[in-house]
A and B are shown apart, each in its own frame.
Chain A
Amino acid sequence: MRRTGTYGIMAEFDSVHTLLDAAKRTREAGYKKIDAYSPFPIEGLAEAIGFHHDEVPLVVLIGGIIGGLTGYLMQYWISVVNYPVNVGGKPYHSWPSFIIVTFEMTILFAGISAVFGMLALNGLPMPYHPVFNSPRFAFASKDRFFLIVFSSDPKYKPSEVRGFLESLRPRSISEVPD
């Protein structure tokens, strides 16, 4: 990766609409490596910056399947193979009794996969990140909206990016040091 000393150029907006509009226009201008930051989830913003593949559902599905299989097979192995006990004449493989633990294990594994899968795919925890160097960025968790063009973008030329972002009429523009 080309090191330029800057991580990217960041523009600050003060409403959802200007940010969404800016993100769309930046994509249309041909910048691929961009990101947007907002204090709450905004419908359509991820698509506007070109994010389409959310793998969280797949992770949760896999987690749920593993949990369900673990739950059922564990009970089968314990109750039929390793430690068969006759309880009230019920069959060793009394599957209706095994449903509840199977269900709970499915939920448990799927839920853990959802949380930790989401964090892992997001690359969190990540205590340091260059965008925090921008002094205005603390407002991204309050009431401001940010758009960044990363310096790793193939079209990245500092003066051009700055000029382009100016044309979007942001509140402020700052260079984010690496």
Chain B
Amino acid sequence: MADPVENERAPVIEPGYTLGSVTDKISSIVLTRPTSNAWFVGFGVMFLVTMMLLFAIGYLFLKGIGIWGVTVPIGWGFAIVNFVWWIGIGHAGTLISAILLLLRQSWRNSINRFAEAMTLFAVASAGIFPLIHVGRPWLAYWLFPYPNTMRVWPQFRSPLVWDVFAVSTYATISALFWFIGLIPDLATLRDRSEERWKKIIYGMLAMGWRGSARHWHRYETAYLLLAGLATPLVLSVHTVVSFDFAVGIVPGWHTTIFPPYFVAGAIYSGFAMVLMLAIPIRKIYNLEDFITELHLQNAAKVMLATGLIVAYGYVVEAFMGWYGGNRYDAFLLWNRLHGPYSFFYYMLLICNIVIPQVLWIPKLRSSPVWLFLISFVVLVGMWLERFIIVVVSLHRDFLTSSWGMYYPTRWDWMTYIGTIGLFLSAMFLFVRLLPMISIFEMRTLLPEAEVKE
């Protein structure tokens, strides 16, 4: 049976659950649990923050991007920083649902659903930024190749066009993956609902799923293939995002370490966000039996590992600046360490490299409070990383005469904080309206579901 090491680890799901009790516990959160006042307050506040986003964007549409802090030489300000930050956060969902599925990490079954939802909302928040950053957002569809009367087409040698394809494919596939996973659970909700209107809505969404053996067979094949397709996709998305920088010749951008280091950073920040969401959710909805200490510990280990890859990326960047013999790269390194933004570079090193090392301590890895705080630090650190990459690289490039400084305006902040509101209000709606843990995948983890030969 299980070896001694296995016995010491927390279980994926606490013992004593049956097919029926797992179903009831998860579906009752949506169907019968009364909506608490705290939920209304939380959602209400986040909704107001989302309204602030709309206000900021509305004013932007009236006035143009002059209301932001972007200037020459820093043409990519908060918009690109936030875009990369949000897209990176989205990566954990697909990693959990696709890559861990292929690796047969069954603990993923309790966190994949809300991690996928998190991915969708993060990609939606990310997607806003490039669109409003183009200056004339009503013409954003020009990014796509379509036959037009101007008889022009996108320029396919540009990483910015690659990015359009990568991000829109990623958004589409994440949405499909999330929805296909929901179908059997929507059927469960349809069959468990008492009220007729709920039955109708969940029934329409479940599309008549009835759990036939033939259907399950095709379903599992499609799910597995989708996971196989999403795995290279998720690795490609942040790679392509890093090409936006790496293909350019700006010092600090033009480096081959970017793709792997961006992907690792994405997963790093994504798991931090998963933890920041999972820790309060499991507490509030009493889901500690399903999202156990094992999940928190595993997420912490992934964070520790990817954080070290990110640290390696920083070391290589600095080493190449020092050793590479390119005076502009060397200056960039000097500027990061001693320039006007050096405070943020040191903060970045502290947030992303120094503080997360406490995760080596097993006690802290299983403490929800500590993990929550460390995840917050990592999210701040990863935001600073993108700020350093975008702003510090641009603000002092080749010609001293074109140096400048970047000062974000209140509109920059309102847009950024507004997307956090959008993300969290979508999460609030999600936990009330859909099963936040995949019910049918949880059933497969139970001893009852084992097929003995």
Chain A residues with CB under 8 Å of chain B are 15-17, 20, 23, 35-46, 48-49, 51, 54-57, 60, 64, 74-75, 78-79, 82-83, 85, 87-88, 90, 94, 97-98, 100-101, 103-105, 107-108, 110-112, 114-115, 117-119, 121-122, 124-129, 131-132, 137-143
Contact = CB atoms under 8 A, between A and B. Distances in A.
A44 B177 CA distance: 24
Nearest to A36: B213
Contacts of A48: 213
A40 B210 contact: no
Contacts of A37: 210-213
Given A37-B211, A43-B451, A74-B145, A142 B156 contact: no
Interface of B: 18-20, 23, 145, 151-158, 161-162, 165-166, 169, 172-173, 176-177, 179-180, 184, 187-188, 190-192, 203-204, 207-222, 225-226, 229-230, 232-233, 236, 240, 243, 440-441, 443-444, 448-452
B210 A129 contact: yes
B69 to A, nearest CB: 31
A38 B211 contact: yes
24 contacts: A17-B452, A38-B216, A39-B23, A39-B440, A42-B216, A42-B451, A45-B216, A54-B218, A56-B221, A57-B225, A78-B156, A79-B157, A94-B157, A101-B165, A104-B233, A112-B176, A118-B218, A124-B209, A125-B208, A129-B208, A138-B192, A139-B191, A141-B192, A142-B20
A141 to B, nearest CB: 4
Nearest to B176: A115
A27 to B, nearest CB: 12
A74 B177 CA distance: 27
A126 B156 contact: no
A78 B449 CA distance: 53
Contacts of A104: 162, 165-166, 169, 233, 236
Contacts of A94: 157
B102 to A, nearest CB: 15
A90 B157 contact: yes
A122 B222 CA distance: 11
Contact of B451 (A16, A107, A108, A119): A16
Nearest to A19: B213
Contacts of B219: 41, 118, 122
Given A38-B216, A44-B451, A56-B225, A108 B444 contact: no
B172 A111 contact: yes
Nearest to A75: B156
Contacts of B204: 127
Contacts of B210: 37, 129, 131-132, 137, 140
B212 A108 contact: no
Which of A75, A111, A141, A143 counts the most chain B CB atoms within 10 A? A141
Contact of A54 (B180, B221, B236): B221
A115 B207 contact: no
B130 to A, nearest CB: 16
Contact of A111 (B208, B230, B450): B230
B169 A107 contact: yes
B235 to A, nearest CB: 11
A94 B166 CA distance: 19
B169 to A, nearest CB: 4
Contacts of A118: 180, 218-219, 221-222
Given A49-B213, A100-B236, 5 more contacts: A35-B212, A42-B213, A42-B449, A44-B451, A141-B187
Contacts of B222: 56, 60, 114-115, 117-118
Contact of A103 (B213, B236, B452): B236
Given A39-B23, A40-B440, A56-B225, A51 B156 contact: no
Given A40-B440, A114-B226, A124 B156 contact: no
Given A41-B444, A46-B216, A143-B20, A107 B225 contact: no
Given A39-B188, A104-B236, A98 B156 contact: yes
B162 A40 contact: no
A114 B220 CA distance: 11
A36 B451 contact: no
A135 to B, nearest CB: 11
Contact of B166 (A87, A100, A117): A100
A115 B156 contact: no
Given A111-B230, A141-B188, A121 B218 contact: yes
Contacts of B233: 104, 107, 111
Which of B19, B213, B229 counts the most chain A CB atoms within 10 A? B213
Complex A-B, nearest 3 residue pairs according to Cβ-Cβ distance, in ascending order? A125-B207, A143-B19, A118-B222
B169 A122 contact: no
Nearest to A146: B211
A111 B176 CA distance: 8
B278 to A, nearest CB: 23
A108 B208 contact: no
B153 A82 contact: yes
A57 B157 CA distance: 32
B343 to A, nearest CB: 36
A112 B240 contact: no
A100 B240 contact: yes
Nearest to A52: B217
A7 B444 CA distance: 30
